[in-house]
Structure 1
Amino acid sequence: MRVAAIDCGTNSIRLLIADVDGTNFREIVREMEVVRLGQGVDKTGQFHPDAIARTLAAVDKYALEIAKRGVEKIRFCATSATRDATNRDLFINGVKERLGIEPEVIPGEVEAALSFQGATKDFDKADGPFLVIDIGGGSTEFVFGTDHVEFAKSMNIGCVRMSERHFTGGDADPGQIAAAIEDIDEAIKQAGKVVPITQAKTLIAVAGTATTVAAAGLDLPAYDRYAIHLSRISAEKVHAISKKFLAMKREDREALGYMHPGRVDVIGAGSLVLSRIMLATGATEFVASESDILDGMAWSLV
């Protein structure tokens, strides 16, 4: 069956079209656009009209691709920013008009389960239990289990939310970094009350922050998802990369060959979240996975 999954987060909107048959999975199209739907949501509690316009323009493109590829089933999931926005109906109605389906505003626990399913599919169960970390734009999911989710918690420490809350006005200063660390560490502590974050055998990190940190750790000249997928990045490297990103000027981050333009302003905060999680869990490395919530959504349609 040919299926399409659209994941609309706080920072990016992504499309996966795949043929799924039994245990066989063949990727046809995988696209991403940084639309920053969550622009200002942490502060105002509402979507900005410009952010809705940018996101619906991307949905228009995806609708054309879905029609062209003969997709039989579609699932559209919206996550952290849409959960928080009081004017979310403007966005939801816009998606309905374009795709003819009801977008799901999924709770953090559903997001966690889908991320877990996608992230662990290329691993042997002997590598478990797994802790899957999904650092999004608005929230970060902590998910623990071996062949299914045993514990999950979503915390509002995504890369966009942390950037808007702590790193306003360009380059990060020591005071801002200290305040962000305090905020992040408290959220990790709360997550740790629900999820046994120090008990995993394998720490898997998914989504753009983690894969960008992996690209930096591998010293890639350009973003290469095949080199990044299942790569292992040491905790020492993660801490060093986070410090480097936070200390760099914007134009220097922008010049990195592997850096997506839409991630330049939020990678400092995102890498700091990952660094603090590595410290809190005691993990010596993380495994980067390019399979994530999108893959979990595609499997869920069959």
Structure 2
Amino acid sequence: MRFAAIDLGTNTFHLLIAEVKNSSFEILYKTNVPVKLGEGRINENIIIPAAFERGLNTLKSFDEIIQKYDVDQVRATATSAVRSAENGQDFVSKVKEHANITIEAISGDEEAELIYQGVKLSGAIQERALIMDIGGGSVEFILCDQQSLIWKKSYNIGAARLMQQFFHSNPISDEDKGGIVHHIQNQLTDLFEICEIHQPQVLIGSAGAFETFAELITQKKNQTTDIKNVKTFNFEFDDYIATAIELINATHDQRAAMKGMIPLRVDMIVIAALITNYVMGRIQLNKLVLSTYDLKMGLLSQFINKQ
């Protein structure tokens, strides 16, 4: 059977098409489009008209691709930007009407579950781990080991939200950095309590910003690793820290000029670095792994398990 997974993120829309036979799969097609659905007014819970239009047009093109590949089943999930927007349901209705795609606006808890299933499929979970997925609207944390999911939670501290609320300088000022750190410190109290009990040994970064961190490092070191085509990537901790500090201290133009940077993440990567640094520091972790498998692979994993 052919299955299509669509992940409507706050920043990026993803489409993945796979051929599934028994418990195995082959990826036939994948793409992502920087729709920026949360642009402008995400903290006011509004999808602005330009973003609404971009999202609708992107899903129309996804539907054409799905038809071309003779897909048997489609599952499309929307996360923070749609579930929190006052006009989110209007967007869902318009997509059904004009792009023939039925969208599920999933909860933060469901989002975390799907991220866990995707990361598990990558083989990245080798010991007790804290999975972290930095989206535009929300950040998900999942505490797990090789056998089971221990705890999960979604927080409304995504990169687009924090950028619109706090990031007003170039390069980012100490005042803006302090505002971000203070905010996430207040939000993540229960995360640190549960980590104190269960003591994760590694932070697994789910795709997104962590792929960009890996791209920047491999490009800088002239390594041949193709991040787009690996399931996992083990960071050298010193490489990650040096890269994170460089990103935080750089101007917008300096970040844009870095090899491996994509336009969507030029500014939001600063937020991602600040959150990651703070979490690793608080939990005293110095081991970081990338899983390129994320929510859309979680959708595929659930489909496979139902066969």
- Using structure 2 for the length normalisation, give the TM-score: 0.90
- Equivalent residue of 1:97, what SS? helix
Aligned residue for 1:264? 266
Compared with structure 1, are the counterparts of its residues 63 and 39 closer, same or farther at alpha carbon in structure 2 (3 Å cutoff)? same
**Structure 1 segments of 4 or more deviating over 6 A?**
none
Q: Which amino acid aligns with 1:114?
A: L
Q: Is the 8 A contact 1:4 1:66 kept in 2?
A: yes
Greater displacement, 289-298 / 180-189:
180-189
- Equivalent residue of 1:70, what SS? coil
Q: Is the 8 A contact 1:171 1:250 kept in 2?
A: yes
Aligned residue for 1:139? 138
- Aligned counterpart in structure 2 of residue 225 of structure 1, from 213, 224, 227: 227
Q: Which amino acid aligns with 2:161?
A: R
Aligned residue for 2:9? 9
For residues 156 and 223 of structure 1, the distance between their equivalents in structure 2, rounded to whole angstroms, comes to 33
Aligned residue for 1:182? 182
- Equivalent residue of 2:32, what SS? strand
Aligned residue for 1:163? 163
Aligned residue for 2:248? 246
**1:124, CA displacement in angstroms?**
7.2
For residues 78 and 21 of structure 2, the distance between their equivalents in structure 1, rounded to whole angstroms, comes to 25
- Equivalent residue of 1:218, what SS? helix
Greater displacement, 231-240 / 286-295:
231-240
- Equivalent residue of 1:214, what SS? helix
Q: Which amino acid aligns with 2:7?
A: D
Aligned residue for 2:94? 94
For residues 276 and 112 of structure 2, the distance between their equivalents in structure 1, rounded to whole angstroms, comes to 17
- Equivalent residue of 2:188, what SS? helix
Q: Is the 8 A contact 1:135 1:159 kept in 2?
A: yes
Aligned residue for 1:80? 80
Q: Is the 8 A contact 2:237 2:286 kept in 1?
A: yes
**1:240, CA displacement in angstroms?**
2.7
Q: Which amino acid aligns with 1:56?
A: L
Aligned residue for 2:30? 30
Q: Which amino acid aligns with 1:271?
A: A
Aligned residue for 1:199? 199
For residues 52 and 211 of structure 1, the distance between their equivalents in structure 2, rounded to whole angstroms, comes to 27
For residues 18 and 61 of structure 1, the distance between their equivalents in structure 2, rounded to whole angstroms, comes to 18
Q: Is the 8 A contact 2:131 2:205 kept in 1?
A: yes
Greater displacement, 70-79 / 168-177:
168-177
- Aligned counterpart in structure 2 of residue 301 of structure 1, from 296, 300, 303: 303
Q: Specify every segment of 5 or more residues in structure 2 that has no aligned partner in the other structure, as ranges.
A: none
Deviations 1:205-241 (A, max 9, x none): 1131111112223335699324764211244433332
**1:41, CA displacement in angstroms?**
3.7
For residues 124 and 215 of structure 2, the distance between their equivalents in structure 1, rounded to whole angstroms, comes to 24
- Equivalent residue of 1:168, what SS? coil
For residues 171 and 226 of structure 1, the distance between their equivalents in structure 2, rounded to whole angstroms, comes to 29
For residues 197 and 235 of structure 2, the distance between their equivalents in structure 1, rounded to whole angstroms, comes to 18
Greater displacement, 238-247 / 171-180:
238-247
For residues 274 and 263 of structure 2, the distance between their equivalents in structure 1, rounded to whole angstroms, comes to 19
**1:194, CA displacement in angstroms?**
5.0
Q: Is the 8 A contact 1:18 1:26 kept in 2?
A: yes
Q: Which amino acid aligns with 2:280?
A: M
Aligned residue for 1:287? 289
For residues 37 and 82 of structure 1, the distance between their equivalents in structure 2, rounded to whole angstroms, comes to 8
Q: Which amino acid aligns with 2:241?
A: H
Please report the RMSD computed on the Cα atoms of aligned residues, expressed in angstroms.
2.2
- Equivalent residue of 2:219, what SS? coil
- Equivalent residue of 1:219, what SS? helix
- Equivalent residue of 2:161, what SS? helix
**1:170, CA displacement in angstroms?**
4.2
- Aligned counterpart in structure 2 of residue 275 of structure 1, from 277, 281, 289: 277
**1:193, CA displacement in angstroms?**
3.8
Deviations 1:70-116 (A, max 9, x none): 11101111001112111112210122124434211111111111111
Q: Which amino acid aligns with 2:277?
A: S
**1:197, CA displacement in angstroms?**
8.0
- Using structure 1 for the length normalisation, give the TM-score: 0.92
